[in-house]
Amino acid sequence: MLVLVLLIKIFKSVQFTFSENDKKIVGIGGRIFFPNDIQGCLKKKDEIVKELSEMFGNEVTIQEVSKAHRADKSGKSKITSIYFIFMNDDAVKVNCYDWDKNMEYKDALVLNIDASEYRNFLSNEAY
């Protein structure tokens, strides 16, 4: 619940994702745009990660991932992510999207709270 409060406090918009079958909430996300300011995005990501780390303590496994975004065939657009993974495989992730100037997107910080079933769908079925 505290993460949802953080999400609403910081982000201008919040998105809810519902399961197709039983219509329960499986994901919540928020986004802040940082047009051409990836350093600002990374700074805000670090602030949020610090707060979440204090909040979750030893209740999570933390993974850091940096990779090229698959939507950019040139490989120039990057995602930098921190995953807080709970024992039941639910996760909170904080991502900075650094889009190449030739892409139509704006750099952005995205925070997602995802149930394990939604994470499984995204990893194995969605793409």
What is the distance between the alpha carbons of residues 73 and 24, in angstroms, rounded to a whole number?
A: 34
pTM: 0.85
Q: Which residue has the tokens 């350093």?
A: 39
Torsion of CA 84, 118, 26, 43, to 10 degrees: 40
Q: Which residue has the tokens 């979440």?
A: 52
Write b or e for each residue in 14-30: b if 16 or more Cβ atoms lie within 10 A of its Cβ, otherwise e.
Answer: eeebeeeeeeeebbbbb
> Distance between CA atoms of 120 and 3, rounded to whole angstroms?
21
Q: Half-sphere exposure of residue 34, counting CA atoms within 13 Å on the CB side?
A: 20
Residue in this structure with the two tokens 């209740």, named with its chain if needed? 59
Residue 111, token pair as written in the block? 């925070």
Q: What is the pLDDT of residues 52-103, one digit of tens each?
A: 999 898 999 999 999 999 888 999 999 999 999 999 999 999 999 999 999 9
Please write the tens of the pLDDT for every residue from 14-28.
Answer: 888 998 888 899 999
pLDDT the model gives residue 3: 61
Beta-bridge partners for 111: 30, 94
Q: Name the β-bridge partners of 112.
A: 29, 93
